[in-house]
Amino acid sequence: MGILSNVLGFATFGLAARFGQLGIQKRNLFSNPGGHIIAMGAFGFAGYWAHKWDIRAAEIIAEKKSLLEERRRKQITQAEALGSQQLAEAE
């Protein structure tokens, strides 16, 4: 998912939350547009942060995956070496 769609989606959710808040209070939805901008900005920043975290989490997972694969390769080569050594001793 792109950063723009993530930020706009969160900002839209912030606007909807603001409208919901004003609706519960039974206030005019368009009386204070500054509050809408603040809510959209705050939720948009949360969307930006969520996008950056998603990218960083994918990098961390890829690093851990490569470490695990490397360890498994080492264990397999050690086991093969030990097995061939035991076969040579048995003969």
Give the DSSP letter string of 19-71: HHHHHHTT--TTS-HHHHHHHHHHHHHHHHHHHHHHHHHHHHHHHHHHHHHHH
Q: Say if residue 84's pLDDT is above 80.
A: yes
Helices 33-90, 3-24: crossing angle, 10 deg rounding: 130
Overall pTM > 0.75: no
pLDDT digits (tens, 9 = 90+) for 43-70: 999 999 999 999 999 999 999 999 999 9
CB 31 within 8 A of CB 7: no
Q: What token pair was written down for 36?
A: 């809408």
Task: Check residue 65 and give its pLDDT.
Answer: 97
